[in-house]
Amino acid sequence: MGGDENISHLTFSMLESKVDSRILKSLKLMGFLKPTQIQAKALPHMLLGDDIIGAAKTGSGKTLAFLIPAVEKLINMEFSKKHGVGCLIITPTRELALQINVVLKKLLAEINLTHSLLVGGEKKLKEIASLRKGVNVIVGTPGRILDHLENTSGFNCNNLKCLVLDEADKLLEAGFQKHISGIIRRLPKKRQTVLFSATIDEKVENLARLALKDNPKLISVKDERQSTAAGLEQGYCICPVEKRLCWLYKMLKKCKKLKVMVFFSSCKSVDFHYEFFKVHCKAAVISIHGKQSQPRRKDAYQTFVQAKKGALFCTDVAARGLDIPSVNWIVQYDPPTDMKEYIHRVGRTARGLNSTGKAVILLREEEEKFVEYLKREKVYLDKYNFGETPDDVQKMLQDIIQKDGTMKILARKAYLSFLRCYKKHPHSEVFDIKNLDLKLAATAFGFSEQPHVDFLKTRKRKQTNVDATTAS
């Protein structure tokens, strides 16, 4: 395999003399016959033992790019339980760790190497028992890994041969810098280290300096012509704020035989919309967000992975790294916090070679300039027209809010959290709370009368005091 951009002639069978035949057999059984660009570029360097920084957009096939050489290395070194941890893979979220673990399990189907998943929310005693028996490959989140390194007697990484930092930019965004530093201090310096990240900024470079040897190989497969997958059709739809829920109802009805992911700005908004569509509209909806229990998140993720159709209502906890097959549509009901988050959200569809998918972002007329911002990031959107929205669903929601106390509480919490997220949006020149009609926004949550909002006034009063102090 080589670094040529044209990889159409490459197949995994070309690795026959370079990697164990059992790995190739597992790849074939999993349906992987050809490498993606990141795999074709990274594998030769990783098999030689080089430290690498891999820059590739989400959905590019990074997981196998580091799993194949890591497993091959441990096979060559004849690792067994008594050697302990040979490979440590650190990821930012439980869901991503779970997903990597599923691929790892399939890859090791005929290989006598042990593996374990270390994530918060799982039973710690079970993990401790597993670690003490001897685990060769660990996939986990930073907090739980560091906890075991500090507190689980008999567990160490003294024989570690390979460290993988996956989604490094997200690890840093989630505030895991101290955890990762603590882990690295406890690892042997003589090891291979691999860092993968969708974006390479100053923080990621600093982490690379801490974790990697000097002069690592930089591998990038970013297409300078566009920032999103080639098979992705994406557009935007202009919708007045009071018609948003009606628009979503029409969208889901139109896509009821397809697989759809809908992104909201807050957990409370997910809960409210899930309750309305699942219970009152009888729609096939699943929800996932960061405030749910780990078992519930795990169950929701696995259910949606196996589903042939239906919708997943989620926050950005599901925007990074999750490999959910055959997602037809990405709906950004609430705006992403920045351009990177937009790219990660739409990266849940059109994944892998020759894959296609569609994405739409819902914007108010006053927010249309966001399309220009995306254009600067080489993301090009068409303007979609979904036609008239149905009014009957709006009346149904308003009737429910008046009669159902639980739904009214959910709606109020969702409305207020929507405003809070909107108020603190980093691109306030586009998503400006002062240009948002609060009463009309409340309509989309089923209120004919706007609920009391105190935090906007509080901020204004504080600002006035600051101005007065400055003036004096």
Confidence class of residue 466 from pLDDT cuts 50, 70 and 90? very low
User: Within 10 A of 358 (CB to CB), how many other CB atoms are there?
Assistant: 21
- Does CATH place domain 12-220 in 3.30.450.40? no
Question: Could you tell me the pTM of the whole model?
Answer: 0.63
Over range 67-96, report the average pLDDT.
Answer: 94
Q: Write out the DSSP string of 276-298.
A: IIIIIS---EEEE-TTS-HHHHH
Specify the 3-state DSSP secondary structure of 327.
coil
The pLDDT tens digits for 194-245 are 999 887 888 888 899 989 987 888 888 755 445 566 678 999 999 999 999 9
The predicted structure's pLDDT at residue 467:
37
Over range 123-142, report the average pLDDT.
Answer: 93
Q: How far is CA 47 from each of CA 8, 90, 103, rounded to the nearest angstrom?
A: 21, 20, 19
How far apart CA 198 and CA 57 sit, in angstroms, is 5
Give just the sign of the alpha carbon dihedral 364, 369, 373, 374: positive
Say whether 232-457 and 12-220 share the same fold. Answer: yes
- Please state the separation of Cα 355 from the chain's center in Å: 18
The predicted structure's pLDDT at residue 456:
75
pLDDT higher than 80, residue 312: yes
- Please state the separation of Cα 128 from the chain's center in Å: 28
The pLDDT tens digits for 152-191 are 988 889 999 999 999 898 888 888 999 999 999 999 999 9
Three-class DSSP labels, 60-100: CCHHHHHHHHHHHHHHHCCCCHHHCCCEEEECCCHHHHHHH
The amino acid at residue 236 is Y
The predicted structure's pLDDT at residue 175:
87
How far apart CA 318 and CA 96 sit, in angstroms, is 9
Contacts made by residues 376-381, CB under 8 angstroms, sequence distance 24+: 377/227, 377/339, 377/343, 378/224, 378/225, 378/226, 378/227, 379/226, 379/227, 379/228, 379/234, 379/339, 379/342, 379/343, 380/226, 380/234, 381/234, 381/235, 381/236
Least confident of 96-105, 434-443, 456-465: 456-465
Specify the 3-state DSSP secondary structure of 357.
strand
Over range 127-144, report the average pLDDT.
Answer: 94
Question: Which of the pair, 169 or 147, is modelled with greater confidence?
Answer: 147
Over range 79-84, report the average pLDDT.
Answer: 93
Q: Write out the DSSP string of 17-34.
A: TTS-HHHHHHHHHTT--S
The predicted structure's pLDDT at residue 52:
93
How far apart CA 250 and CA 372 sit, in angstroms, is 27
Over range 458-462, report the average pLDDT.
Answer: 39
The predicted structure's pLDDT at residue 78:
95
C-beta of residue 351 within 8 angstroms of C-beta of residue 278: no
Over range 254-261, report the average pLDDT.
Answer: 94
User: pLDDT averaged over the chain?
Assistant: 88
Q: What is the CATH number of domain 232-457?
A: 3.40.50.300
The predicted structure's pLDDT at residue 463:
39
Give just the sign of the alpha carbon dihedral 39, 40, 46, 52: negative
Confidence class of residue 7 from pLDDT cuts 50, 70 and 90? low
pLDDT higher than 70, residue 266: yes
Task: Return the domain boundaries, the chain.
Answer: 12-220, 232-457
C-beta of residue 291 within 8 angstroms of C-beta of residue 270: no
Burial class from Cβ neighbours inside 10 Å (0-12, 13-18, 19+) for residue 373 reads middle
pLDDT higher than 80, residue 8: no
Closest by CA to 187, choosing from 149, 134, 213, 144, is 149
pLDDT higher than 60, residue 353: no
Q: Write out the DSSP string of 213-275.
A: PSSPEEEE---TT-SS-TTEEEEEEE--GGGHHHHHHHHHHHTTTSEEEEE-SSHHHHHHHHH
Confidence class of residue 3 from pLDDT cuts 50, 70 and 90? very low
78: Cβ contacts below 8 Å, ≥ 6 apart: none
Burial readout 304-325 (b: 16 or more C-beta within 10 A, e: otherwise): bbebeebbbbbbbbbbbbbbbe
The predicted structure's pLDDT at residue 104:
97
pLDDT higher than 90, residue 147: yes
Over range 418-436, report the average pLDDT.
Answer: 94
Burial readout 432-464 (b: 16 or more C-beta within 10 A, e: otherwise): ebeebeeeebbbbbbbeeeeebeeeeeeeeeee
% of the chain beyond a pLDDT of 90: 63
The predicted structure's pLDDT at residue 340:
79
Q: How far is CA 130 from each of CA 155, 331, 387, rounded to the nearest angstrom?
A: 10, 41, 57
The predicted structure's pLDDT at residue 6:
61
pLDDT higher than 60, residue 471: no
